Amino acid sequence: MKKIVIYLAILLFTVVNVQAGTRKITKELDAKIQIAQDDADILIWAFFKDKGGSNEQLYKQPQSVVSEKSLQRRAKVFAQSSLIDETDLPVNAGYISALTAQGFKVKQVSKWLNGVSGYIKKAQLSKISALECVAYADIVYKLKKETPVTEALNKTASAIKQPAGVYSLDYGASYTQLKQINVPAVHDLGITGAGVVIGSFDAGFSNLAHEAFASMKIIAQYDFVNNRSYVGNGQGGMGDGTHGTETLSTIGGYKPGQLIGPAYGAKFILAKTENTDSETPVEEDNWIAAAEWADSIGVDVITSSLGYVEFDAPYQSYTWQSMDGKTCRITIAADLAVQKGIVVVNSAGNDGYNADHNTLGAPSDGFYVITAGAVTSTGEISYFSSVGNTVDGRTKPDVMAMGSNVVVASPYSTTGYTNANGTSFSCPLSAGVAALILSAKPSLTPLQVRDAMRTTASNSASPNRQYGWGVLDALKAVNSATVPVELTSFSANLNKSAVLLNWTTATEKNNYGFEIERGTRDANDLSKINWIAVGFKKGNGTTVTVNNYSFTDKLMSSGVYIYRIKQMDYDGSYAYSKEVNVDYSFPSDFVMYQNYPNPFNPSTNITFSIPLKTNVRLAVMDILGREVCQLYKGELSQGLHSFQFDGSRMSSGTYFVRLESGAFNKTIKIQLMK
């Protein structure tokens, strides 16, 4: 069973500091009410002690809690018998009524956090906190909007003109931002985001009439600022804005010759979570409510170009010291969304470099959130891109994409285009890559998607607090994980000068066998693949148990190869797996790759390539430099080699793997987490 471990340490209820006595309020809320007027409306969270009553019927009928699409997504990370848990159950209506009877005005309801946000008079607060059903009360933290980028826009800076006839789509001016992360090559494989539902959380979506959205499939929208089913500007609501128009076009716009987003074939859910009416901060509860709503519909990917950091007095706020993955409620909610099978991608923020501490904005500090930093068209870090690490020492950002001079749809014209700056735009580009991975391989979990993005990025060998794992490579990421054959798995991995194919079937009721096919792209027509059969594996007939198969295809020359499995039944019917690409090139230098998985428990794979037949030594050392084991010593042939390190008898912690061959030596850091 695939399941993401929920870290109890990040649950909100374990980290609050509640005042003694029956008032049950945090020190932060107590400080706020000390300076508030008696008739002032105070915005608070009221958290309940439990969900109350019997909920057995809901567990028996999970489709009454969330949609069938949500249940299908959750099946990737939860057992079939446990697709919902207590966090999915509704907040007890009687508890809410007890609050409103004391004058509480409800703003948002959070089933995940088991509480409600809303307004209460200072004089009534003691009555609220004294209710038996209330666990405690706290402030709703104020969150600063992402810092605007003042960098002058240069529409011609390092722009790349799309060569004629190279790709099947005309990307216009958006070619630069997509080519940098290798998206056009994925589109040419027919992967466009189809089958994936993307939730875009932002400020006002002011111009959905723009031509770039003409073919976009928007299946749901909601304004959590004004509580209405309309995310545009006007109609008497608060928070008019243009930011949502720009970010949405970045990920999913489609106007050939002008702008194409990486995931233009996906379906979209739009949530307006930010009030732009004034310079005062916004509240985190809107984002949390939007995440729960999107989850119930069946969202697969959330893209959130909102970075929240400290705000000037008198507003209570989080600070850089809060960026530890377990303090900010918006971060707790984002990680909980990932644990329910949703990929969450958030912008790192636009507060640039600080030598002394991180400049991240919540929820980019999340344990499982994919944090996107920004680069220029040449791959240099944009000066404004926020840096890590988190307070608890985790590397952030995760990945990088273009955030300077990104082409977006104009908010002020239905046919115009403009350029924009900020991690607000590297975020939807990164989320678009995540959607492409899921479109190709829908069975992947959020952490598998994150790992595919990280381990194939340009800086994966040495991630750091400014550049993370580096600039994305969509094609490598799509090809790096397993591919399903019908309801099973299929993977292709290089092993020296051969490709090792592995696949698994869960049930076989009529299986004659599998034909293994290798393809290459036609030199005269890149959309055409020439297939040949390279082998056959006999099936296990009518068994209903899990069956594992493997096949080795020896390669004689460098090139990009495509593999698929043709599953044939006794009755003559057959079905093809999805395709997986393998780029086999004779290595021209020594290369040491980051281990996978990392962190790991208990084993991980150490992979490297060598340019010639030579003697090598591969050893593991502890953090003090003491050798704990030698994985290999001897002669190896030219090509790619992989060794497994088993840490089952070792303690959790940081270790180092060192590869030596003559004058060459390279060390990577690995993390054993038990």
Is 184 in contact with 175 (CB distance < 8 Å)?
yes
Q: How far apart are CA 250 and CA 255, in angstroms?
A: 11
C-alpha 606 chain-centroid distance: 25
Q: CA dist 394 to 43, 67, 368, 369, 389, Å? A: 32, 34, 11, 12, 6
Between CA 101 and CA 105 the distance in angstroms is 10
* Cβ count near 506 (within 10 Å): 12
**Three-state DSSP class for residue 645:** strand
CA distance 451 to 447: 6
Spatial CA neighbour of 239 closest among 248, 252, 230? 230
If we measure between CA atoms, which residue out of 305, 344, 370 comes closest to residue 147?
305
Question: What stretch of H or E contains 31?
Answer: helix 27-35
Plot region of 298 (φ>0 → left; ψ -120 to 50 → alpha; else → beta): left
Structure confidence at residue 487 (pLDDT): 44
Q: Is-above-0.85 flag for pTM?
A: no
pLDDT at 177: 97
**If pLDDT is split at 50, 70 and 90, which confidence band does 526 have?**
low
Specify whether the CB–CB gap between 520 and 561 falls below 8 A. Answer: yes
Domains and CATH numbers, the chain: 8-51+90-140 (3.30.70.80), 172-476 (3.40.50.200), 483-584 (2.60.40.10), 591-672 (2.60.40.1930)
Lowest mean pLDDT among 19-23, 102-106, 299-303: 19-23
pLDDT of res. 6:
37
Q: Is the pLDDT of residue 588 over 70?
A: no
Q: Does the pLDDT at position 609 exceed 50?
A: yes
Runs of H (alpha helix) within 75-124? 93-100
Q: What is the pLDDT of residues 351-394, one digit of tens each?
A: 999 999 999 988 999 999 999 999 999 999 999 999 999 999 99
φ, ψ of residue 442 in degrees (nearest 5): -65, -15
Whole-angstrom distance, CA of residue 418 vs CA of residue 259: 10
Query: How sure is the predictor about 573, in pLDDT bands with cuts at 50, 70 and 90?
Result: low
Tell me the per-residue pLDDT of 96-152, one tens digit each, with 9 for 90 and over: 999 999 999 999 999 999 999 999 998 888 888 889 999 999 988 766 666 667 555
Q: What mean pLDDT is predicted for residues 207-234? A: 90
Task: For residue 649, give both structure tokens.
Answer: 């008898």
Residue 507 has pLDDT above 70, yes or no: no
Which whole number is the average pLDDT over 297-303? 97
Give all strands (DSSP E) within 164-234, no chain letters: 197-202, 217-223
- pLDDT, the chain, mean: 84
In whole angstroms, give the CA distance from residue 340 to residue 446: 9
The mean pLDDT value for 258-266 works out to 98
What H or E segment, with its residue span, contains residue 537?
strand 525-541
